[in-house]
Amino acid sequence: MIWTLIFIILAVTAAAALLSIVAPRPVVAESANQAAAAIDLVLVLWLLIIVPSRGVVGVDSLLLVDPFGVWVLVCLAVVYLFATVYARGYLREQGRSPRSLKVFYSLFACFALIMILSPIQNNPGLYWVGIDLTTLVSAVLVGLEPNRRAIEAAWKYLVVVAVGLSLALIGTILFYFAGTFIRGENYPMTWASFEAIAPKADPSLLLVAFLLVLVGFGTKAGLAPMHTWLPDAHSEGPTPVSVMLSGGLLNCAMLGIVRYLGVLRKTSMGADASRALVILGVASLVVAALFITRQRGIKRLAAYSSVEHIGIIALGFGFGGVLGTVGALYQMLNHSLTKSAVFFGAGNAIESYGTRQIAGVRRIADRFPVMGAAWLAAAVAAVGAPPFGLFLSELTIARGGIVSANPWAVGVMGVALIVIFIGFMGHFRKMFFAGPRHHHPHDGSVHALPITSVAPMLVAVTIVLVLGVWWPHPLWIYFTHIAATFGGR
């Protein structure tokens, strides 16, 4: 049953990619992506229920379907569905040609397909290949925006991430090399094999390998100081692509770091590996705080918020234990939902006002009351304020840091979050309340937003609000099973 669901998910996503490029009209490509995304979400939620806590291995031991991988797929499937719904109205408003629309949707489905494959790879080498392929496809998507800035952002993305993933490849090879002294020159390259050889391998060699992997996949995840590609790519690409990069791809890259961290925790170097991840998490929060306060671009503001959130997720996994790991897993979903709504609102504002600058957007709620309310709520959620889900997940991570004897990191986290709150909401205050009030906010110069540009925002914000006032107990139990696999008690 599990493998049947996996193959259906892969098949419908691949079919959407193929159908989009051969479709006679763009509307077929739009519908194919939306249908594939809806089917993927339903089937992934089914996997969430039926996958055992130990996971299952199949297809000649090449694929692994475990609770952690399935959770990353849940976050991805939610974002994929929201992004495909939003893209329908967003791309039509831009007046793109039918051919460019079909190319976009075909690449978009390919991007989703590769991201779906990455978390279920049982071979660390093939996982690296999957993450590398996402770079190629998403860079093309970023460069599809018809301006020079987008092309420059795509090239910067390719160069910076290529260097990072080269280091991750060297680290992966070193992990395998460490095992040859124990299992011989040829042995199965799986996550389980790495965990089995870790207690017997040279711990110093494993730590060096982990640090290379951490920097490599950390570059892809947007951890500071390797984050330099992220603000450009997220802000210059089409908004649906920004959503997939932030809400989907960052989680896929973080999964690899956490799996390798689980291997290191089987050795005497586990504490050092965790400390390295905590340091990068703190660095990401500090960088995000500094740049958010002085940001001028709307989507760049949202992009640096992604650096903040991925830093918090890194802290949670670095702290470890039940509280740290559970909080990080909950943060993944809340981040995916919240950042989707924030980017959707940014895309709507940019298209409506004709500017990417914060200074060019004023009194947006006067023009678009419903969209404005949803966007403001998403901003409040993004800074971790109650009663939204990010408040619960960040509070849980902070508790995990205190329990794990990392009060210094929790202190820096608290100060950074206060600075981010002031800076982020200060920008939104200007966009919502600064400037003269419009006496006729609905005159002919203001066009109505398509329902597809507003509905995903409302749904995402509503879910984050529910997750803030009610943490489903089955999710807590599910997360504790995942925490146990990484040494949480």
pLDDT tens digits along 12-35: 999 999 999 998 899 999 999 999
Q: What is the pLDDT of residue 67?
A: 96
> Is residue 458 included in any domain, yes or no?
yes
pLDDT band of residue 117 (cuts 50, 70, 90) is: very high
DSSP secondary structure string for all residues of 186-235: ----SHHHHHHHGGGS-HHHHHHHHHHHHHHHHHHHT-TTS-THHHHHHH
Q: What are the CB-based long-range contacts (under 8 Å, 24+) for 38-41?
A: 38/81, 39/8, 39/9, 39/12, 40/9, 40/12, 40/13, 40/77, 40/80, 40/81, 40/112, 40/116, 41/77, 41/78, 41/80, 41/81
For residue range 368-395, list pLDDT tens digits in order. Answer: 999 999 999 999 999 999 999 999 999 9
Mean pLDDT of the chain: 93
Residue 214 has pLDDT above 60, yes or no: yes
Task: Tell me phi and psi for residue 163, to 5 degrees.
Answer: -65, -45
* Structural domain total, the chain: 1
Nearest to 115, CA basis, from 72, 174, 172: 72
137, part of any domain: no
pLDDT digits (tens, 9 = 90+) for 280-299: 999 999 999 999 999 999 99
Check residue 145 and give its pLDDT: 75
pLDDT in the model for residue 486: 81
Model confidence pLDDT, tens digit, residues 222-237: 999 999 999 999 989 9
Q: By residue range, what is the domain housing residue 360? A: 269-489
Note whether residue 424 is domain-resident: yes
CA-closest candidate to residue 6, choices 88, 60, 73 = 73
Q: Kindly state the average pLDDT of the residues 399-406.
A: 91
CA distance 294 to 424: 9
Distance CA 96, CA 94 (A): 6
Tell me the C-alpha distance between 362 and 434, whole Å.
Answer: 6
* 317 within some domain: yes
Residue 348 lies in a domain: yes
Q: What is the pTM of this model?
A: 0.96
Q: For residue 191, is it within any domain?
A: no
- Is 443's pLDDT higher than 50? no
Find the DSSP H helices in 434-450: none
Contact between residue 239 and residue 206 where contact means Cβ atoms under 8 Å apart: no
DSSP string, 115-143: HHHGGGBSSHHHHHHHHHHHHHHHHHHHT
- Look at residue 381 and tell me if it is in a domain: yes
260 domain residue, yes or no: no
